[in-house]
Amino acid sequence: MTGSSRGRASATEPAWVEHAIWWQVYPLGFVGAYPADTPPAAGEHRLRHVVQWLDHVIGLGASGLALGPIFASRTHGYDTTDHYRIDPRLGDDGDFDHLIAEARSRGLRVLLDGVFNHVGTEFANTSWFRKQRNGSGFDTFEGHGDLIALDHDNPEVVDYTVDVMTHWLGRGADGWRLDAAYAVPDRFWAQVLPRVRSVFPEAWFVGEVIHGDYSARVRDGGFDSVTQYELWKAIWSGLNDGNFHEIDWALVRHSEFLDAFVPMTFVGNHDVTRIASRLENTKHLAHALVILLTTGGTPSIYAGDEFAYRGIKEERFGGDDAVRPEFGAPPDGVDQLGRDEFRLHQYLIGLRRRHPWLHTAHTSPLQLTNRQYVYQTRNGADALVVALNIGDEPLSVSLPQLGFDHGTILAGSGAPPQDIVSQVEVEPHGWLIISPAARQ
């Protein structure tokens, strides 16, 4: 078991991303600006409320702040009306500069959320709207009448997108999440991204891609990364169904992606039901997090998931509100809601940051049944053995049978860390992470 499985970042991924772990915030909800009976005014400077949480981000162990939409819009932020203007419900340019400065002082990167597939109906330049083929109106995004599709074959739209992206990178952002990238022709991104990189070669670009050929989208569009929805779905449904075969299948696919680029991985974000609500057995929150933080990828933690916040997304008007709540002041002390989950996040994020090789590591199964799963995650000579048990019976793991002399327990349920073992049992609904010693 001394193979040389090694992923690689895309040719354009900046070196700093190897160490990136994002804490994602949906700003309009986070600061109570949307939904709100009376929208706040710019003078309330609500974007600065996020600054209060930056020390929490550091305490959690994350290294970057991934912001949802912050530009002028009429409702939820994804109906942008002016990409050059901070949403007045959040504040103004001064508030953005303050947030960037405070993040920088703590060594935190900042990722912005850009919507360039569509805009709101109040967007100024209607000549950039994409006309329907029958000429009767404008195309919309997935049938939403208040989200008008841009004409991505218009060179002025290309120029505008390049200028917006370079403008905010020049103001201190480190990269862009590109919303609904799957709905935009790859040829558009292939025109935009090289021009932005020519000015900001250290910027990182991740496309929101839900399904399809991830590797082809990265190659043809020129992204550094895309969102790994396949693995997200496999994690929660595999744990709920008692089907580690589904998770293993997704990890095989994941390793194939890692041959070409490093996906952005997550178990929660602003568009999906929170993982604590999605899982039928909350004991398995740990298993989901262990998978996230011991496999290749650029991980993202959705704000509140570290406290096991609940929230169910519903397919209706306002159906996102439950997963995009307002946050008050940061918790003080160890008696806050979800303290065990928070400490687990801290520990596993710390483990991840002590093993930066995990960024491009491949996984391979060592033992696999419906409810018990042991996998190796490896990058060259570096390796971990991860044992997950969601069954009602103990899971027996013999390291010599797996090709190792012994191993050191780094973390787990029901077992003290740092124990050197050759044979170990994982308790029902438990887990272990082991640093294995290669057979001499």
For residue 269, which amino acid is it? N
Rounded-to-integer distance, Cα 217 and Cα 179, Å: 14
Decide if 153 contacts 131 (C-beta within 8 A).
Answer: no
Please give the structure tokens belonging to residue 46: 């609500």
Least Cα distance to 383 among 412, 401, 408 occurs for 408
- pLDDT beyond 90 at 339: no
Q: What is the DSSP string of 107-148?
A: T-EEEEEEE-SEEETT-S-GGGBPBPTTSSSB-EETTEEEEE
212-220, long-range: CB < 8 A, 24+ apart: 212/182, 214/257, 214/261, 214/263, 215/256, 215/257, 215/260, 215/261, 217/181, 217/182, 217/186, 218/10, 218/260, 218/261, 219/260, 220/186, 220/187, 220/190
* Element counts in the chain: helices (H) and strands (E): 11, 21
pLDDT category of residue 134 using cuts at 50, 70 and 90: confident
Q: Give the pLDDT score at 2.
A: 41
Of all helices (H) and strands (E), which one includes residue 207? strand 204-207
Domain boundaries, the chain: 15-361, 363-438
Of all helices (H) and strands (E), which one includes residue 223? none
- pLDDT beyond 80 at 275: yes
Lowest mean pLDDT among 124-138, 176-190, 239-253, 405-419: 405-419
- Classified as helix, coil or strand, 92 is coil
pLDDT category of residue 438 using cuts at 50, 70 and 90: confident
pLDDT category of residue 5 using cuts at 50, 70 and 90: low
| Domain 15-361: CATH architecture, name and number where available | Alpha-Beta Barrel (3.20)
**Model pTM score:** 0.96
pLDDT category of residue 12 using cuts at 50, 70 and 90: very high
pLDDT category of residue 75 using cuts at 50, 70 and 90: very high
- Classified as helix, coil or strand, 103 is helix
Rounded-to-integer distance, Cα 111 and Cα 65, Å: 6
Please give the structure tokens belonging to residue 325: 């709540």
- pLDDT beyond 70 at 93: yes
- pLDDT beyond 70 at 170: yes
Rounded-to-integer distance, Cα 301 and Cα 352, Å: 13
- pLDDT beyond 50 at 296: yes
pLDDT category of residue 152 using cuts at 50, 70 and 90: very high
pLDDT one-digit tens code per residue, 195-211: 999 999 999 999 999 99
Q: Which residues contact 435 (CB under 8 A, 6 or more apart)?
A: 383, 384, 385, 407, 408, 410
Backbone conformation region of residue 272, classed left if phi is above 0, alpha if psi is from -120 to 50, else beta: beta
Rounded-to-integer distance, Cα 433 and Cα 440, Å: 21
212-229 average pLDDT score: 97
Q: Percent of the chain beyond pLDDT 90?
A: 91
Q: Give the pLDDT score at 27.
A: 98
Across-strand partners of 204?
A: 175
Rounded-to-integer distance, Cα 47 and Cα 54, Å: 12
Of all helices (H) and strands (E), which one includes residue 54? helix 54-60
Q: What is the CA 259 to chain-centroid distance, rounded? A: 19
According to CATH, the topology of domain 363-438 is: Immunoglobulin-like (2.60.40)
Q: Give the pLDDT score at 335.
A: 52
353-379 average pLDDT score: 98
pLDDT category of residue 26 using cuts at 50, 70 and 90: very high
Q: Give the pLDDT score at 1.
A: 40
Decide if 81 contacts 122 (C-beta within 8 A).
Answer: yes
Decide if 91 contacts 67 (C-beta within 8 A).
Answer: no
- pLDDT beyond 70 at 409: yes
- What's the mean pLDDT when you consider all of the chain? 95
Q: Give the pLDDT score at 3.
A: 46
**DSSP-H helix ranges across 305-411:** 339-354
